[in-house]
Amino acid sequence: MEPAIRAVALTKRYGRARGVSGLEFDVRRGEVFGFLGPNGAGKTTTIRLLLDLIRPTGGQLEVLGVEPRAGGPALRRRIGYLPGDLRLYESLTGRELLTYFAALRGADDLGDAPELVERLDVELDRRIGALSRGNRQKVGLVQALMHRPELLILDEPSSGLDPLVQQTFLELMREAAARGATVFLSSHALPEVQEVADRVAVVREGELVLVDSVEALRAKARTRVGVTLAEEPPPGAFALDGVEELRRDGNRVELAVAGEPDALVKLLAAFHVVALESREADLEDVFLGLYGERTTGAR
Mean pLDDT to the nearest integer, 141-147: 97
- When pLDDT is cut at 50, 70 and 90, the band that residue 218 belongs to is confident
CATH code, domain with 38: 3.40.50.300
Report the CATH number that the domain containing residue 252 is assigned in CATH: 3.30.70.1560
pLDDT, tens only, 270-280: 999 999 998 76
98 in any annotated domain:
yes
Q: Are residues 174 and 254 in the same domain?
A: no
In whole angstroms, give the CA distance from residue 150 to residue 144. 11
39 occurs within a structural domain: yes
Together in a domain, 172 and 38: yes
Whether residues 118 and 191 share a domain: the answer is yes
Phi, psi (degrees; rounded to nearest 5) at 292: -65, -25
Determine contact, residues 230/272, Cβ cutoff 8 Å. yes
- The pLDDT value recorded for residue 115 is 96
Of the CA atoms within 13 Å of residue 37, those in its CB half-sphere come to 28
Whether 29 maps to a domain, the answer reads: yes
Q: Which of 218, 246, 265 is the last residue of a domain?
A: 218
Looking from the CA of 176 toward its CB, the CA atoms found within 13 Å total 34
Q: Exposure string (b/e) for 125-157, b if CB count within 10 Å is 16 or more?
A: eeebeebeeebbbbbbbbbbbbbebbbbbbbbb
CB hemisphere CA count around 134 (13 angstroms): 10
Average pLDDT over residues 32-42: 89
Question: Hey, which bits of 64-109 come out as E strands?
Answer: 79-82
Nearest to 194 by CA among 286, 121, 268: 286
CB 156, CB 39: distance < 8 Å: no
Give the per-residue pLDDT at 293.
41
| Average pLDDT rounded to a whole number, residues 114-128 | 95
Range of the domain at 233: 222-280
Residue 260 falls inside a structural domain? yes
**Residue 114 belongs to a domain:** yes
Residues 186 and 129 in one domain: yes
Residues 98 and 190 placed together within one structural domain of the fold = yes
Mean pLDDT of the region 71-93: 94
- Would you say residue 168 lies in a domain? yes
Is the domain of 270 the same as that of 183? no
- How many domains does one find in the chain? 2
Claim to verify: residue 92 and residue 240 sit in the same structural domain: no
Q: Are 117 and 260 in a shared domain?
A: no
User: Mapping DSSP to helix (H, G, I), strand (E, B) and coil, where does residue 92 land?
Assistant: coil
Give the C-alpha separation, 75 to 149, whole Å. Answer: 10
Same domain (yes/no): 214, 226: no
pTM: 0.80
Among residues 174, 203, 191, 196, the alpha carbon closest in space to that of 280 is found at: 191
Average pLDDT over the chain, rounded to whole?
90
Q: Is 62 in the same domain as 209?
A: yes
Residue 290 resides in a domain: no
213 and 182 co-located in one domain: yes
Identify whether residues 237 and 210 lie together within a single domain: no
The residue among 299 and 161 whose pLDDT is bigger is 161
Amino acid at 42: G
**Domain ends where: 218, 249, 271?**
218
Whether 291 is in a domain gets the answer no
For 152-158, what is the mean pLDDT?
94
- Please count the helices (runs of H) and the strands (runs of E) in the chain: 10, 13
Count CB-CB contacts under 10 A for residue 30.
17
